[in-house]
Amino acid sequence: MTRMLKLVAIGMMLVGTAGLQAQGAAKQAPAKGKSLYDRLGGKPAIVAVVDDFVGNVAADKRINAFFAATAADKDRLAKFKGNLVDQICQAAGGPCKYMGKDMKAAHAGMGISGADFDALVEDLTKTLDKFKVGKTEQGELLGVLGPMKAQIVEKK
């Protein structure tokens, strides 16, 4: 089994001990010249991460009310997850094109607070830790998502 296939299989089983570790991100220095997308494990790894992350959000009482309508409609949920995958893939330098709304339009009128945003980032970090994504890669990913806070948060 290739490293990538192994990674996907492990990700799909949601076993917390391996996952993106196969990319060697946890302990080694990042491979020079490799995009964040490649170091994360490519699209299958991002799909597995988004799946787990959305599961965390759905279980997070601090913010899951925002997603009640999304979680109740499986087509809407699938579309949302697909948009998140494309967005992360593109932001990480992968070959995807995010076709969803810009972050301001997507979250307009939701009344998302800074604490809500931080809770969501915490839920993502939980997933990244579970998949053994190295702190360097986590920092890079949050470095691209973090600046979106200004477009998403509407209140203190």
Output the smallest distance, CB 12 to ligand HEM, in A: 22
- Token digits for 32? 């020079």
Output the smallest distance, CB 90 to ligand HEM, in A: 10
Instruction: Give the nearer residue to ligand HEM in terms of CB position, either 15 or 69.
Output: 69
> What CA–CA distance (Å, rounded) separates 47 from 53?
10
Output the smallest distance, CB 40 to ligand HEM, in A: 15
- 25-33, long-range: CB within 8 Å, 24+ apart, which pairs? 25/132, 25/133, 25/134, 25/136, 25/137, 26/132, 26/133, 26/134, 27/134, 28/134, 29/136, 30/134, 30/136, 30/137
Instruction: Give the nearer residue to ligand HEM in terms of CB position, either 26 or 103.
Output: 103
Output the smallest distance, CB 149 to ligand HEM, in A: 7
Q: Which residue is nearest to ligand HEM (CB)?
A: 100
Output the smallest distance, CB 39 to ligand HEM, in A: 19
In sequence order, what are the residues at sequence separation of 6 or more whose Cβ sits closer than 8 angstroms to the Cβ of residue 120?
57, 60, 63
Instruction: Give the nearer residue to ligand HEM in terms of CB position, either 22 or 63.
Output: 63
Binding footprint of ligand HEM on the chain (CB under 6 A): 63, 66-67, 70, 76, 80, 83-84, 87, 100-101, 106-107, 110, 112, 116-117, 120, 145, 148, 152
Instruction: Give the nearer residue to ligand HEM in terms of CB position, either 1 or 72.
Output: 72
In sequence order, what are the residues at sequence separation of 6 or more whose Cβ sits closer than 8 angstroms to the Cβ of residue 75?
none
For 96, which DSSP code? -
Instruction: Give the nearer residue to ligand HEM in terms of CB position, either 16 or 143.
Output: 143
